[in-house]
A and B are shown apart, each in its own frame.
Chain A
Amino acid sequence: MATQIVMDLNGDTRHQFDPNDAEAVAKAERRFKELTGSGFVAAERTSSGQSRLVKSFEPTASETLFFPRLVGG
């Protein structure tokens, strides 16, 4: 199972999907586009403690994290 983790008021909300299920993958891709389109940044964990930004939907990513765009505090 692959997981999309979205930071929110609850800490985070997790959406799991089966990368082999075409319908689930399409839904996950729609979620990716909606979130990044509304300003969320997507990141994938590559190895222990390392991460990289993700610009387009990757169905094979085991865990993708979405966090809101940064602003000056």
Chain B
Amino acid sequence: MKALFWLSRQISECEWRARAVCGLFRSARNANTPELRGLRLLRSWLSPAQLAQLDAKGYFDVIGGQSGKTYRIKFGICANILELAEDGRPKVGWCVVPDGCLVAGDVMLAQKISLETCECAALAKANRFGAPTR
């Protein structure tokens, strides 16, 4: 029963996040705010699979270029990277961001490129946080 409650909470959380991201993008398709520019840039650099995942779930997964590990990049500007265990559960969190004040789309794109192309260097700078529950 507890597991069922946990699962339904996870699903509604993901759906809420996906709706928020899609809604933001749809509602202001023609706007030119920094947030939307960042989101457009991110979307244009994602693979089709990552884009579909972002639209459906509000996050996307990347494969570490050196270790082959899977990282989940959630919508946000800090503490938004989760390293996944082989069973897909979050194992540990990483916080590494571009220096300076950037919008979420830009931060997420810099994180994606870094993890895919220079994973070890990126993680060497990252702060690690405990295994999150979601």
Contact = CB atoms under 8 A, between A and B. Distances in A.
Contacts of B38: 7, 11-12
Contacts of A50: 47, 116
Interface in A31-66: 39, 41, 43, 45, 48-53, 65
A65 B38 CA distance: 12
Name the prevailing secondary structure of the A interface residues: strand
B99 A11 contact: no
**Which of B34, B78, B79 gathers the greatest number of chain A CB atoms within 10 Å?**
B34
A51 B41 CA distance: 14
B105 A11 contact: yes
B99 A12 contact: no
A52 B34 CA distance: 25
B127 A72 contact: yes
Contacts of B35: 11
Interface stretch (B7-15, B16-24, B66-74, B90-98): B90-98
B122 interface: yes
The 6 closest A-B pairs by CB, nearest first: A49-B47, A11-B37, A73-B95, A11-B34, A67-B110, A68-B98
